[in-house]
Structure 1
C-alpha cells in the first residue's frame, strides 16, 4: 500500500482523492495545509488519516511514502524537490515546474535518492491520446495540426471585478498557458516531439496574467497551431491533417471521440470509453513506477520537452509585446 500525503486543498486534490480510490493500492495518509484548521477539515473531506500544517515534519514522517503536490504553480518546484530530498516519491501537478531547468533538478534529485518524480499530466496517460498517436499513420505525411482548448473560467468574473484570484495571479504562476494551454503543448510534444521554432502571441487580463493565446510551432514539413483561453469559450475540435486525410479530435485534453476522414470520402470513427475527466491513468502510472521501480526516463523527457516549449511561448509572446 502506497501511503500518500497531499499538498493543496483545491478541487483537483479532491479529484485526486476520488480517483486514487479507483486505482487502488493507495492510502491517503495525510493532508497538508499551512492553516491547521483547514488541513484538518480537508483531511476529513477526502478521507485522509491525518492532517498537518508542518511541511518539513510531514515530509520527515516514516508513515508517508509519497506526496501529491497540487499547490499553486509557483510552489511546485520547491515542494517537489523537498519531497524527493526527504526520500519520498512525488507526483506533482502540471506544470511540474515553471522551467525545464527546475524540473531537471527535481528529476536528478529523485534519481539520486532512489525515488520517483512524475508530472501529473493526465492527458499524457489517457488512452484517448494513445489512440490518436496510433492513428497518425493513417494520415500519410503530416502537414498541419490545430490543437485547441478554450474554456472560460468561472473565476474570470472575479478578476474583472478587481479581485485577486490565484489561477490568474502571475506571481503564483497563474495564467491560461500554464493551465489549459499546457494540455495543448503537452499533447503536441507527445505526438510530434519538440518543434524547431515557436512564435506566440497572447492577451492579458487585469493583473498581468495571460488570458488567451495562440502559438505556431514549426517542424520539418509540419506546422502546428495551438490555441488556448480561460477568458473565452469555443466548441471547435482539434484536428491533425496529413496528405491522405485528417483526424478530428473532440477534446485534445481528453480525447473521447475521434473521426478519421480519408481523401476518398470514407470515414472511420472511434469512441474511447471512460469519463471525460479522470486522473486515474496518471495515478496508475505513478503507482506502477513506485511499486515496480520502473524507468521514468521517457516521462521526464516528455515533461522537459513540454516545459521548454512553454518557455519558448512565454519568451515569444513577451518579446512580441503580447502583454
Structure 2
C-alpha cells in the first residue's frame, strides 16, 4: 500500500484519462513516454507486487504514486482505466478483475491466450458497462491507415507475405540453457504471441478471417518457441505470416494483387510504402507521423493507440472494429497452435 496521494490534478489535465499501469517492463516505460507525447491521459498509479519496486517504478515513469495492492487500485475512484502490460499468462485474470471493478481496460497484445477467454472478457465488459481494448498499436497508426487506403489499387489480392523478424537479446540466455519467459509457451510466451501477433492483426484487419489456418512453430528448447510460420488461405488468395525472435531480417512485407504489388517496411509501424502497378513504375509513400519522435523510437506509434482509447472512453464506444479484430486474431492464433 502507498500513502494517499491527491490525484485531482491541475485544471490543465482535468480532462485527461486517469490510468493505472500493471507491469514494469520495457513496454510500460514506452507506454508512459507515449502518454506524455499524447497528452490525452495521465498515469496516476503504477502497480508492482513489491511495494518498493512500485514506488521506484512510479518515480521512473512519472506516475503520481506506486501501489502494490491491486485491489486498492481497482477500488480507487481516482482511476478511470487500467493498462495491463503484465506477463501474457496473467492477462485474463487481471483484465477480469479490472472489468469486474468497473474500470476500462487497455490490455497489451496478446489480449489473452485463447479466443474463448477473449469472448468471455468482452461479454463481461458489456455486462459491467466499460470498454475493453487490445493494445495493438499498428491498428491506429497512420501508416496502416494508408495501407488500407491504397489496397484497392492492387486489384484482386492473390498473395501476401507479412513479416516480423527481430532477434531478441534474450535468445542468448535460451542458448545458454535458461528458461526465459518471453520464449516460454508454458507461461504464454513464444514468438507467435510476442511478434507473430503483429502479422495476424493486419491479416484479419485487411482481409478478414481466413477459411483455413496452418501453423508451423520453430522450437528452440523445452516449451521455447523462437520462430514460426502461418499459412492462411482464403477463396482464391493465400497469405504467409512469418515471425522470428531468433534471427534478423530487413525483408519488407508484401501484398500482391492482379493489378499491382505493395511493399512496406515495418508491419508494426509502416513508414515506407511502395506501390508498383503491373507494367508501371513504383510509387513511394513516406509516412511522417505527427506523433513520431525519432529520439524515442516507437513511442509516437504507441501514442496513436492512447488517443484512440481516450476517444473511445470519452464516447463510451469501442474503437471501430477493435473487438472484431481481436476476436478474429485470437481464433487465428488458436488455429495456428492447433487449439
TM interval, shorter chain, is over 0.9
Distance (Å, rounded) in 2 between the aligned partners of 1:258 and 1:27: 33
Select which of 304, 317, 321 maps to 1:281.
Answer: 304
Aligned to 1:320: none
2:336 to 299, 309, 313: 313
- Mapped partners of 1:243, 1:26: distance in 2: 44
Q: Secondary structure at the match of 2:19?
A: strand
Cα 1:295–1:203 change in 2 (3 A) is: closer
Q: Give yes or no for the alignment of 1:238 onto 2:261.
A: no
Per the TM alignment, residue 297 of structure 1 is displaced from its structure 2 partner at its CA by 6.3
- Distance, in Å, in 2 between the alignment partners of 1:200 and 1:92 is 25
Instruction: Give, in whole Å, the separation in 2 of the partners of 1:180 and 1:116.
Output: 25
Do the aligned residues in 2 keep the contact of 1:150 with 1:233 (CA within 8 Å)? yes
Deviation at 1:130, TM superposition (A): 1.1
Contact 2:40 2:306 in 1 (8 A): no
Structure 1 contact 148–227 (Cα < 8 Å) conserved:
yes
Q: Aligned partners of 1:21 and 1:262: how far apart in 2?
A: 41
TM-score, normalization by structure 2: 0.91
Which residue in 1 is equivalent to 2:81?
66
Q: In 1, distance between residues paired with 2:197 and 2:318?
A: 24
Match of 1:57 in 2: 72
- Give SS of 1:251's match: coil
Structure 2 unmatched runs, 5+: 1-15
What root-mean-square deviation, in Å, do the aligned CA atoms of Structure 1 and Structure 2 show?
Answer: 1.2
- Structure 1: gaps (5+ residues): 317-323
Q: CA deviation at 1:254?
A: 1.1
Equivalent residues of 2:40, 2:307 under 8 A apart: no
Structure 1: how far apart are the matches of 2:54 and 2:179?
Answer: 22
Given the two structures, how large is their TM-score scaled by the length of structure 1? 0.95
Post-superposition offset of 1:282: 0.8
Asked if the contact 1:168–1:207 (Cα under 8 Å) also holds between the matched residues in 2, the reply is no
Partner Cα separation in structure 1 for residue 44 and residue 156 of structure 2:
50
Residues 1-40 of structure 1 mapped to structure 2, 5 A cutoff: 1-40=16-55
Q: Mean Cα displacement is larger for which, 34-43 or 274-283? A: 274-283
